[in-house]
């Protein structure tokens, strides 16, 4: 895995800049392909019941899931192409700016990535959502006054089935109880008291089952979640 990662990084450095989608020369994403990635302006609300109480989580997607955006996500997720992760980072900045537009009273922010399985992390050689959260932090820091940290505190605690091919109810059942919070420390105290804004980070939302499970784990640990930021979501 490390060898493949080094080869990919060298290839990116030595190759001329090409569009991630159509491979035309000149831009990270060319003007024509950029128009195919349609932005979303409003939040989606995920509803769930936890300990007999109903909760609603605001999810802020940057763009509609499309073949073009899916290609960029897969390049970042499975091939570790930095330019693809850079583009997704820009989308997540757009999501954050819509989620927390005022910034009148800056409060410290914690970005918590949705975890992948240990097997997926080993196969890739990196944690995809963690790298996205770090990219978001790097891009956001010059534009806001708040302290921003990335907190890798969610873990997959048991084996789960492949989510592809499952409907929403099956995905929720498959992931129920699968995430745990580890090493929250002082962040837990700050999040409980409202001194820290907590956002879940993922590349996309399809059924919302991963975000819902991450939200459940944080809630049961006593952490108040301000919302979730994703690069893409379905149109409806």
Strand pairing report for 154-156 and 179-181? antiparallel
8 Å CB contact between 199 and 109? yes
Residue 93: pLDDT over 60: yes
Mean pLDDT, residues 182-199: 73
Q: What is the pTM of this model?
A: 0.89
Q: Quick one: pLDDT band at residue 14, thresholds 50, 70, 90?
A: very low
pLDDT value, residue 162: 82
Task: Look at residue 134 in the predicted model and tell me its pLDDT.
Answer: 98
Q: Is the pLDDT confidence value at 191 over 70?
A: no
Q: What pLDDT does residue 222 have? A: 84
pLDDT band at 54 (very low <50, low <70, confident <90, very high): confident
Which residue bears the tokens 């939302």?
205
Nearest to 223 by CA among 135, 140, 136, 153: 153
| pLDDT at res. 29 | 96
pLDDT at 168: 84
Question: What are the Cα distances from residue 21, in Å, to 4, 32, 69?
Answer: 21, 10, 8
- Give the start-to-end residue ranges of the domains of the chain: 37-233
């Amino acid at each position: 895995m490390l060898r493949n990662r080094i080869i990919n990084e060298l290839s990116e450095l030595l190759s001329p800049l090409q569009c991630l989608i159509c491979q035309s020369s000149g831009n990270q994403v060319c003007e024509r392909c950029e128009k195919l990635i349609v932005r979303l302006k409003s939040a989606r609300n995920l509803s769930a019941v936890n300990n007999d109480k109903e909760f609603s989580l605001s999810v802020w997607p940057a763009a509609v899931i499309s073949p073009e955006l899916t290609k960029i996500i897969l390049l970042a997720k499975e091939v570790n192409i930095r330019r693809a992760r850079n583009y997704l980072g820009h989308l997540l900045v757009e999501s954050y700016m819509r989620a927390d537009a005022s910034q009148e009273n800056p409060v410290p922010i914690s970005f918590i990535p949705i975890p992948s399985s240990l097997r997926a992390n080993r196969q890739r050689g990196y944690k995809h959502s963690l790298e996205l959260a770090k990219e978001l932090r790097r891009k956001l820091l010059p534009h806001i006054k708040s302290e921003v940290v990335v907190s890798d505190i969610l873990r997959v605690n048991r084996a789960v089935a492949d989510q592809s091919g499952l409907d929403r109810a099956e995905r929720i059942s498959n992931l129920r109880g699968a995430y745990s919070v580890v090493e929250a420390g002082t962040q837990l105290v700050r999040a409980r008291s409202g001194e820290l804004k907590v956002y879940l980070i993922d590349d996309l939302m399809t059924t919302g089952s991963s975000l819902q499970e991450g939200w459940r784990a944080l809630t049961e640990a006593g952490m108040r979640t301000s919302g979730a930021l994703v690069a893409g979501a379905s149109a409806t």
